[in-house]
Amino acid sequence: MKSLNDIAKQFRDVFEAEHTNIKLPFFDDFPDNCCEGASCFLAFYFMAKFPKKDVFVIHGKSSDGYENHYWVEVDGLIYDLTADQFDEVDKPIFGAKSHLMSSWFSVTSSQFASCFFSDYADKFVGFKKQSRIYSQVIGLVV
């Protein structure tokens, strides 16, 4: 079985290669401004593949209140496929014990992967389309 890090790296590779074909908000500019969608899909896959693990999507807000950021936490480890959209970070985060941007983003909420997936689908694309896109992405990852 693949490790969480291997899966996260595969997701990142797929998002980089296919971002213009993934019909989700903001993915045209991956990794910029698509942390919410990338975190949603990664977290949902982790939850499905590793049902005994605690998988959350974390929402952080900058101290000035103008920027939002999302990342995944699994059993206390950080996965941030879009961390490198910020000047201070030069690569994605795969299984770190702390977030490199913790001094910039304060955690405002933590949501179970399944709830976050449902909310994201309702907010942006509808569940049917979300499921179709999820299947497309998963087909490229596995």
Task: Give the pLDDT score at 127.
Answer: 53
* pLDDT reading at 142 higher than 70: no
User: In the structure, what pLDDT confidence band is assigned to residue 133 with cuts at 50, 70 and 90?
Assistant: low
User: In the structure, what pLDDT confidence band is assigned to residue 118 with cuts at 50, 70 and 90?
Assistant: confident
Cα 70 to Cα 39, 60, 83, 102, distances in angstroms: 6, 6, 9, 12
Cα–Cα distance measured from residue 26 to residue 94, given in angstroms and rounded to the nearest whole number: 22
pLDDT digits (tens, 9 = 90+) for 61-100: 998 888 999 999 999 999 999 999 998 899 999 999 988 8
Task: Give the pLDDT score at 135.
Answer: 67
Where do runs of H (alpha helix) occur along the chain? Answer: 4-18, 35-49, 113-120, 127-141
pLDDT digits (tens, 9 = 90+) for 13-46: 999 998 888 777 788 899 999 999 999 989 989 9
Check: CB of residue 52 under 8 Å from CB of residue 42: no
Task: Give the pLDDT score at 136.
Answer: 61
Cα 77 to Cα 18, 33, 57, 103, distances in angstroms: 26, 22, 12, 17
Check: CB of residue 79 under 8 Å from CB of residue 40: no
Average pLDDT (5-11) is 96
- Amino acid of residue 71: W
For every residue of 14-28, DSSP letters joined together read: HHHHHTTTS-STTGG
Task: Give the pLDDT score at 51.
Answer: 93
- Domain ranges in the chain are 4-141
